[in-house]
Amino acid sequence: MMLLPLAVVLLAAFANAEPAINEARPHSNRPGRFLSLPIPQKCANRPKQFNFRGHNYFYSGHVPAHANQKVDWLDARNICREYCMDLISMETQEENNMIFRLIQQNDVPYIWTSGRLCDFKGCENRRDLEPKSLYGWFWSANREKMAPTNQVPNGWGFNPWSQTGHKKVRQPDNAEYDINGTNESCLSVLNNVYNDGIAWHDVACYHEKPFVCEDSEELLNYVASTNRGIRL
């Protein structure tokens, strides 16, 4: 059986991500939550609303099964993952602006992305991530590091993080920590909530929001390799 080792590797990767989930919800009354595994039937029939560079995407508000649904960051990831997708990662300005246009044209108040602060178990002793507010952010869907938050990312014409927020300082500002000790460890795109246009903000992960899913090559490859003949 050639397939078992791959499955084991992938399951190990999922298990590694699990502590992050608990750390993300220090006051959670839903402890021990896990990342969901893909469901082959849902992957094969996943919503494909638009396509960019070979990846399919959907905005939850435009999918009947998820319209009006607002969920916390992990639930959003897991809804996407059952479709062999994950929350969106905006690595390029082109992809970012595609999402900004979607938000603008549909008057979407905010969305979850896969952006995450590396502040959980496994992120300790990483000098390259310090200080966390500048160097600690990454796309959890593909584990790619983001540019330092105070810099214009390579190849971009602007810094997508907002210049303002609850504390009237540039983002990320971890503002909710000052209010009640909850860290703002997840990345949301907010639509003019602080009279700042459409921009990136750090937000506590328990907030409930609509979301954008993007194809996950890792999950699609996994389901393709374990379901002979499946059309994805």
Ligand X SMILES: *[C@@H]1O[C@H](CO)[C@@H](O)[C@H](O)[C@H]1NC(C)=O
Q: Which is nearer to ligand X, 153 or 165 (CB)?
A: 165
Orientation angle between helical segments 3-24 and 73-82, nearest 10 degrees? 160
Tokens describing residue 191: 């639509």
Q: What is the smallest separation between the CB atom of 198 and ligand X, expressed in angstroms?
A: 23
Q: What is the smallest separation between the CB atom of 179 and ligand X, expressed in angstroms?
A: 5
Query: Per CB under 6 A, does 89 bind ligand X?
Result: no
Query: Per CB under 6 A, does 177 bind ligand X?
Result: yes
Counting beta carbons within 10 angstroms of the beta carbon of residue 5, is it exposed (0 to 12), middle (13 to 18) or buried (19 or more)?
exposed
Query: Per CB under 6 A, does 179 bind ligand X?
Result: yes
Q: What is the smallest separation between the CB atom of 177 and ligand X, expressed in angstroms?
A: 5
Q: Mask 8-37, x = binds ligand X (CB under 6 A)? A: ---------------x---x----------
How far apart (Å, rounded) are the C-alpha atoms in residues 38 and 165?
A: 36
CA atoms within 13 A on the CB side of 96: 22
Tokens describing residue 35: 């990342």
Residues 6+ apart with CB under 8 A from 62: 49, 106
Tokens describing residue 164: 């303002």
Q: Which stretch binds ligand X (CB under 6 A): 14-22, 61-69, 177-185, 192-200?
A: 177-185
Q: Which stretch binds ligand X (CB under 6 A): 44-52, 147-155, 180-188, 209-217?
A: 180-188
Could you give the residue ranges of the DSSP H alpha helices within 25-92? 40-44, 73-82
Q: Mask 43-82, x = binds ligand X (CB under 6 A)? A: ----------------------------------------
Interface contacts to ligand X, rule CB under 6 A: 23, 27, 119, 174, 177, 179-180, 182-183, 206
